[in-house]
Structure 1
Amino acid sequence: MSISRLRYFVAIAQERSFVRAAARLHVTQSALSQQLRRLEEEIGRPLVVRTPRAVTLTDAGRALLPEARDIVRRYDHLPRVAEDAARRASEVIRLGAVPSALIGLVPALSADFHAEMPEAELVVEEVWTPEQIDRLRAGTLDVGIFRSLYDPDGFDSIDLDPDDYCVCLPESHPLARAATVAWSDLRGEKIVLPRRDIGHAEFDAVVAACHTAGFAPDMLPVTVLGFHFAAWVAAGSGVAILPAYATRQRQAGTVVRALEPRIPTIPLRMAMPRMGSTPAGRALAALATRLSPPRPL
C-alpha cells in the first residue's frame, strides 16, 4: 500500500469527482482510476461508488478516509520534522554569565537544558555584566545572565529568582556560631570583594548596604574574575559578602551565614536579542525561571 494511492483516495473523497481530483493531482483520470482499483484490491473492499452526478463513499471508504487523511498529513510533515531536528542538532547557544550565576545557577541550568535539548550545544563563558551587554549587541553572545537594576535596551529579558546577600566567614570566627549575622556586626571587619572596575554594580551595592548599617566598610578589593573569595577568607584575609547564588561554591575552613536585615542583591536577569526565537532559546528561558538560589547553611 503506497502513500500515493492513499493520497489519490483522499483527493477523490474530498473532491467527490474523478475529474477534479485528477486535475488537482496533475494526473490523468485513467491513472487515478487504476491506482484506486489497486488500493481497493489491497483493502479487499470497494471504497467509492460512481454516480452520474458525483462520487460517493462506501461504508469502508468512510471508515478509511480519516485514517488515510491522517497518514498523508503526517507523511507530508516528515520533511519539517527532519528539518527541525537538523536545526536543533546544529544550534549552538553561546551563554555569558556573571560569576555568581555561573556558580549557583548555570550548572543546574546546563544539566536541565541538555536533558531537554540533547541535540543542541550550550557553550558557557564567565563574563561580567558590561562586557556581556557589548557582546550581545555585537552578536558574539546569544544569551546573557547578568545583574542589572534596569532592563537592557534592545533585548528581550526576564527576571530570574532573586537572591539576598550572605557573608562568608572563617569557621573559627566568633560570628560563625550565630545562625544569622547582622550587617552592623561587620563593622571593623576586612571585607573582600571584587574591584569596582570589574563589578561596579556589586561593589556599590555592598558599600551602600554597609553605610545603611551605619559604618564605612574596610575593603580589600581583589582582582579576580569569579566569586572565589572564600579562598581569601579561608586564608585569613577577611570576610566576603556574596550573593546567595555564589554560596553553592564552598571552601574548606569557611561557613556562610545569611545577613540581617535581608537585602536583595542586584537583580539577576536573562537577556537575548529575541527571546524564544529558536527552540533552544525558548527551552533555556523556560528552564531558567524554574531555578532558585540556595539557602545559606
Structure 2
Amino acid sequence: MELHQLRYFVAVAELQSFTRAAEKCDVAQPSLSQQIIKLEKELRHPLFERLGRTIRLTDAGRALYDQAVGVLAGVDEIRDRVTAATDPHRGTVAIGAIPTIAPYLLPPLLKSFAKRFPKARLALRENLTDGVIRSCLAGEVDVGVIASPVASDLLHSEPLFTEPLLLAMPANHRLVKKRTVTLQDLAEEPFVLMSELHCLGDQIVGFCRQQGYSPVVRCQGVQLLTIQELVAQGHGVSLIPAMAHEMDRGRRCEYRGLAEPTPTRKIHLIWHKDRYQSPVVKEFIRTLRDHAAKNIQ
C-alpha cells in the first residue's frame, strides 16, 4: 500500500469522480484508476461502486476512508514539523471558511499575510459549516472560521468577534425614510434568505422567532450576492452581515442598523486540539486575531 494510492483514493471518495480526482492529483486518469485497482486487489475488496457515472464508497471503502485521511494528515504533519525545524517562515496554512465569511474577511488578510511571509503557502477551502468542521476534525485544514458554536471535545473554539446583521431593502422601500427601524416594522415584510444549507438563514429565522414572529420567506439563495440582488430588485428584505454590506460597492440596496435588540452573529475560530501547529500557522492565527480586533467594529 503506497501513500500516493491513498491520496488518489481519498480524492476520488471526496470528489466522487475519477476525472476530477486525477485533475486534483495532477495525474493522468488511467494511471489513477490503475492505482485504485491495485489498492482494491491488495485489500481484496472493491472500494467503490461504479454505477454508470455515479461513484459511491462500498462498506470497505468507507472503512478505509477514515483511516486514510488520518494517515495522510499524519504524513502532512511530519512534513510540517520538518519544514518548521529548517525554516519557521515556510510551510502551508490550510484555512477552512464558510461562504458568508470567506470572500469578505479573508482576501485582504491573506494578501497582507503573504507579504509578511512570502515563503508560506496559503490554501483556502470554502465550505459549509459542517464541511469546515469535518475538515478540522480530519486534519485537512489547520484552522476554520465559522459563524456558529461547536460542540466537540476534539476542537478548540474561540469567538473572534460579534458581527451585526443589517437590514437590506430596495432603494424605494417605505422604511428607507424611517429614522429608527425595529424588527417589529418587518413583521409583514417578505424576506429573502439564504437557503437551509447555510447557518445564516437559520440564524435569522431563529432571531425573528425570539422576537415573537416567523418571517415570511419569499425567496432563497445560496450566495449573499444573489440575496442582495433579489432585495435590490424588490423581492423582499433581508438581514445581511455587515461584512457583506461593506463589500456592496454598487450600493443598489439600502442598509440600516436595527434598533435593539440588534440581530448579530458570532464568528468563531476553530482548530483540532491535537493537530500540530507550525510556527507559520501560529502566526496566521495571531494575524487573524489582530485583524479582527483592529478592523471589526
CA contact (8 A) 1:104 1:247 kept: no
User: Which residue is 2:247 aligned to?
Assistant: 249
In the alignment, the residues of structure 2 paired with residue 179 and residue 131 of structure 1 have an alpha-carbon distance, to the nearest angstrom, of: 41
User: Which residue is 2:259 aligned to?
Assistant: 260
How far 1:254 sits from its partner (Å)? Answer: 0.8
User: Which residue is 1:239 aligned to?
Assistant: 237
How far 1:204 sits from its partner (Å)? Answer: 2.8
SS at match of 1:268: strand
User: Which residue is 2:207 aligned to?
Assistant: 209
Q: Which moved more, 1:265-274 or 1:220-229?
A: 220-229
SS at match of 1:277: coil
Q: Which moved more, 1:177-186 or 1:236-245?
A: 177-186
SS at match of 2:133: helix
Identify if the C-alpha distance between structure 1 residues 94 and 205 changes in structure 2 by more than 3 Å, giving closer, same or farther.
same
SS at match of 2:157: strand
**What letter is aligned with 2:119?**
E
Q: Which runs of 5+ in 1 are unaligned?
A: 1-81
In the alignment, the residues of structure 2 paired with residue 178 and residue 284 of structure 1 have an alpha-carbon distance, to the nearest angstrom, of: 43
In the alignment, the residues of structure 2 paired with residue 180 and residue 83 of structure 1 have an alpha-carbon distance, to the nearest angstrom, of: 54
Q: Which moved more, 1:137-146 or 1:208-217?
A: 208-217
In the alignment, the residues of structure 2 paired with residue 156 and residue 211 of structure 1 have an alpha-carbon distance, to the nearest angstrom, of: 30
User: Which residue is 1:79 aligned to?
Assistant: none
User: Which residue is 1:187 aligned to?
Assistant: 187
2:218 to 215, 220, 225: 220
CA contact (8 A) 2:192 2:220 kept: yes
In the alignment, the residues of structure 1 paired with residue 177 and residue 114 of structure 2 have an alpha-carbon distance, to the nearest angstrom, of: 40
User: Which residue is 1:92 aligned to?
Assistant: 92
In the alignment, the residues of structure 1 paired with residue 244 and residue 172 of structure 2 have an alpha-carbon distance, to the nearest angstrom, of: 21
User: Which residue is 1:273 aligned to?
Assistant: 272
**What letter is aligned with 1:268?**
I
In the alignment, the residues of structure 1 paired with residue 240 and residue 229 of structure 2 have an alpha-carbon distance, to the nearest angstrom, of: 13
**What letter is aligned with 1:134?**
R
* Identity fraction in percent: 24
The higher radius of gyration belongs to 1
CA contact (8 A) 2:142 2:277 kept: no
Q: Which runs of 5+ in 2 are unaligned?
A: 1-82
Normalised by the length of structure 2, the TM-score is 0.63
CA contact (8 A) 2:224 2:244 kept: no
Question: Where do 1:95-110 residues align within 5 Å?
Answer: 95-110=95-110
CA contact (8 A) 1:103 1:245 kept: no
Aligned positions, number: 213
**What letter is aligned with 1:231?**
E
- Residue by residue over 1:242-292, the C-alpha shift from the partner in whole angstroms, topping out at 9 and shown as x without a partner, is 222332221442121112214353421111224781122111211222225
Question: Where do 1:57-68 residues align within 5 Å?
Answer: none
CA contact (8 A) 2:84 2:278 kept: no
